[in-house]
C-alpha cells in the first residue's frame, strides 16, 4: 500500500513488456526483489495491481464489482469505468476512469471522513490512516500514505493529501480549508505546475476566508 514492497518497479523500461504479458500478476511476482520490504519507496503500478488481485481473491469479485454497490452507487458515480488484465483482475493501478465530477465526489467523501449523506461509506479510521503520513520519502515533492500522496500547500503549509493519475488527473483535499479540487487534463510536463495551482487556490481561500 506504500509502494515499499521491494519488488522492481513496473513503471520504467518494463512498462510495455508488463502490460503486454499474458499474466500480469505472474510477471510482477517474477521480478527481482531489489530492496528489503518496507524500507525503500519505489512507485510501481504493479504494487497496486497486486492489491487488486489480493482483493479479488479474498472477495471473489473484481475491484469494480466490489466497489459498485459499496461506493460508486451510493455516491451516484455513474461515470466510473475500469478495465481488467488478461485474467479479469481489475486494473486498479491504471485502469479506473471517471469524469471530474465523480473525482470531486470521491474527494468530498474523504473530506467528510468517509460519510456521504449521513451514511458511513468508508470507515473513518481508514480515511484517517490512509491519508496520513505512512512513509517519509525524504526526497521529491510529496510523501505517501496508503495509496494517497501527502504534502502541504500554501504559505501556512496546510496539510493535504491527493490522488494523482497519469497526464494530469488529480484530486486534492485540504481538510483545514474544507477544500476539494479536482483536475482533469492532458499534460505530461512537470507536476510542479499543479503545486503552483494549488498554492494559488489555497491562497485565494485563505484571503476570502
Report pLDDT for 206: 80
Domain membership of residue 17 (yes or no) is no
Domain membership of residue 118 (yes or no) is yes
209 has pLDDT over 60: no
Residues of the chain with pLDDT > 70: what percent? 99
Domain membership of residue 41 (yes or no) is no
- Phi and psi, residue 137, nearest 5°: -75, -25
14: left (phi over 0), alpha (psi -120 to 50) or beta: alpha
List C-alpha distances in Å: 195 to 12, 69, 152.
Answer: 24, 34, 9
Domain membership of residue 202 (yes or no) is yes
DSSP symbol at 157: T
Domain membership of residue 18 (yes or no) is no
Mean predicted confidence (pLDDT) in 105-128:
98
Report pLDDT for 142: 95
Domain that holds residue 161: 101-209
Grid coordinates of 163: 490522488
Give this prediction's pTM.
0.94
10 has pLDDT over 90: yes
Mean pLDDT of the chain: 95
Domain membership of residue 36 (yes or no) is no
The upper half-sphere exposure of residue 22, i.e. CA atoms within 13 Å in the direction of its Cβ, equals 0
Report pLDDT for 176: 96
Chain centre to alpha carbon of residue 5: 17
Query: Which of the four pLDDT bands, split at 50, 70 and 90, describes residue 31?
Result: very high
Cα 70 to Cα 201: distance, rounded to the nearest angstrom: 32
Query: Which of the four pLDDT bands, split at 50, 70 and 90, describes residue 189?
Result: confident
Domain membership of residue 166 (yes or no) is yes
Report pLDDT for 73: 98
The upper half-sphere exposure of residue 61, i.e. CA atoms within 13 Å in the direction of its Cβ, equals 9
Query: Which of the four pLDDT bands, split at 50, 70 and 90, describes residue 202?
Result: very high
Report pLDDT for 140: 80
Domain membership of residue 192 (yes or no) is yes
Mean predicted confidence (pLDDT) in 135-159:
94
Is residue 174 within 8 Å of residue 203, measured between CB atoms? Answer: no
Report pLDDT for 207: 66
Mean predicted confidence (pLDDT) in 184-203:
93
As for how many domains the chain has, the answer is 1
113: left (phi over 0), alpha (psi -120 to 50) or beta: left
Cα 112 to Cα 179: distance, rounded to the nearest angstrom: 11
Report pLDDT for 2: 97
Mean predicted confidence (pLDDT) in 58-65:
96
- Partners of 164 in the beta sheet? 170
Amino acid at each position: 500500500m506504500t509502494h515499499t514492497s521491494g519488488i522492481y518497479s513496473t513503471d520504467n523500461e518494463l512498462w510495455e513488456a508488463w502490460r503486454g504479458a499474458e499474466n500480469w500478476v505472474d510477471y510482477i511476482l517474477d521480478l527481482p526483489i531489489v530492496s528489503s520490504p518496507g524500507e525503500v519507496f519505489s512507485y510501481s503500478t504493479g504494487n497496486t495491481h497486486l492489491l487488486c488481485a489480493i482483493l479479488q481473491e479474498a472477495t471473489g469479485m473484481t475491484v469494480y464489482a466490489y466497489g459498485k454497490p459499496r461506493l460508486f452507487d451510493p455516491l451516484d458515480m455513474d461515470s466510473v469505468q475500469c478495465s481488467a488484465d488478461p485474467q479479469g483482475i481489475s486494473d486498479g493501478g491504471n485502469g479506473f476512469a471517471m469524469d471530474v465530477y465523480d473525482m470531486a465526489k470521491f474527494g468530498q467523501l474523504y473530506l467528510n471522513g468517509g460519510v456521504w449523506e449521513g451514511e458511513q461509506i468508508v470507515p473513518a479510521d481508514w480515511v484517517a490512516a490512509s491519508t496520513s503520513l505512512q512513509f517519509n520519502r525524504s526526497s521529491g515533492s510529496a510523501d505517501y500514505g496508503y495509496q494517497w500522496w501527502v504534502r502541504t500547500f500554501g504559505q501556512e503549509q496546510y496539510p493535504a493529501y491527493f490522488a494523482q493519475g497519469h497526464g494530469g488527473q488529480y484530486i486534492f483535499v485540504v481538510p483545514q480549508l474544507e477544500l476539494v479540487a479536482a483536475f482533469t487534463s492532458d499534460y505530461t510536463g512537470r507536476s510542479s505546475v499543479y503545486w503552483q495551482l494549488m498554492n494559488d487556490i489555497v491562497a485565494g481561500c485563505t484571503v476570502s476566508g
